[in-house]
Structure 1
Amino acid sequence: MKRIIAIVGIAVLLAAIYTGFGWANSGSPGSSSDPLVTRSFVERYVSDRLAGLGGGQAAAGGWEIEEIKAGGIFEGAAGTEVVLRSGRATCIDPSKSGILNMTKGDNVHNGQKIPSNNMLIIPRDDGRGIKAETEIIIMYKGAGTISY
């Protein structure tokens, strides 16, 4: 009797191992059951999505890209989203309550350095914005004006 139980136990164990290997090899790489993501796929996917936004130009509700010379001021309207892509800039905030930095979860206050590649939201239409210390490139969504 012990011998039969041992044989049945070994048979069940072998069946479980065989089934596990079958599931592990069920999808071929690149199929829908086991997707393979390559760099070219990601680049094509991103460029297709950006093309839907207007290819870097302003589309309805899309991002605009502006180059601002040193000394220039970008003043955003309420709800304007701004990302500093290159250069150095400081915060302009006459209200002293700051511009919301969504990336870090805090505020950038008057005179503080604007961090690169951080999403900033201007909460009110009260003169808040950024001042270019060097030539800068920004992306923004919403309304804004540039002055020198």
Structure 2
Amino acid sequence: MKKKISVIIGILCTIIMVNWIIGISMEAGSTEPGTVNDPLVTKSYVDQKTSEIMTTLLSKINPTESDEEAEQMDMKAIYAYIDQQIAGQSGSSFIVVEAAVGDTILCGGGTELILRAGKATVIEGENGDGLADLTQGLDLKGGAFVPMQHHLLISRDDGRGIKITEKAFVMIKGAYTLK
């Protein structure tokens, strides 16, 4: 008798569980397009939101430019900003930046550079100061060629950096702007 009651209770529990699972499944699948749970959007809405995000992102990269100038900036600056933000979140590690001929990399104070491939020249700061070459213990003046595989340090945020003269790969740790 106890065995029959146990079997009946087990079957009832199974039926209740199956009904509960079916009910949840039906509720989850009942979302219709155009409702609050699944809104429809137009292409113009997506384009507008994308434009707003790009304008905000570009203003963070270079806040002194107007909205029109910011929209004309190259996508490289956006990628550089994203790389910089990712590097900032992951700690104090170098990131590799690919730069084309004519690009400039302007650095903030405390930024470190290593030219891994390509060629570049030094961009001096507002007061004519250059970049500290920590590998050789030299001060590289404006216009000087940047030696490959040398650890460079930018001491101040005063417009110092490098200008790419041959496609380059540069390891960077710290704040920078790619233009």
Q: If the length of structure 1 is used for normalisation, what is the TM-score?
A: 0.59
Paired AA for residue 111 in structure 1: G
Instruction: Quote how far apart the aligned CAs of 1:100 are.
Output: 0.3
2:108 to 63, 67, 77: 77
Paired AA for residue 124 in structure 1: R
**Deviation digits for residues 41-64 of structure 1 (CA, Å, limit 9, x no counterpart):** xxxxxxxxxxxxxxxx83221111
Instruction: Quote how far apart the aligned CAs of 1:97 are.
Output: 2.0
- Counterpart of 1:130 in structure 2 is 162
- Counterpart of 2:140 in structure 1 is 108
Instruction: Quote how far apart the aligned CAs of 1:78 are.
Output: 0.2
**Whole-angstrom distance in 2 between the partners of 1:109 and 1:64:** 25
**Deviation digits for residues 24-46 of structure 1 (CA, Å, limit 9, x no counterpart):** xxxxxxxxxxxxxxxxxxxxxxx
1:19-38 pair list within 5 angstroms: none
Stretches of structure 1 that go unaligned for 5 or more consecutive residues are 1-56
Paired AA for residue 97 in structure 2: E
Aligned length: 91
Higher fraction of strand: 1
Cα-Cα RMSD? 1.1
Paired AA for residue 93 in structure 2: G
- Counterpart of 1:93 in structure 2 is 124
Paired AA for residue 120 in structure 2: A
Paired AA for residue 141 in structure 2: H
Stretches of structure 2 that go unaligned for 5 or more consecutive residues are 1-85
Higher relative contact order by CA 8 Å / sep ≥ 6: 1 or 2? Answer: 1
Paired AA for residue 110 in structure 1: G
Q: If the length of structure 2 is used for normalisation, what is the TM-score?
A: 0.49
**Whole-angstrom distance in 2 between the partners of 1:105 and 1:62:** 22
Indicate the SS of the match to 2:153. Answer: strand
Q: After TM superposition, what 4+ stretches of structure 1 lie above 2 angstroms from structure 2?
A: none
Of structures 1 and 2, the larger Rg is shown by 2
- Counterpart of 2:30 in structure 1 is none
**Whole-angstrom distance in 2 between the partners of 1:119 and 1:79:** 12
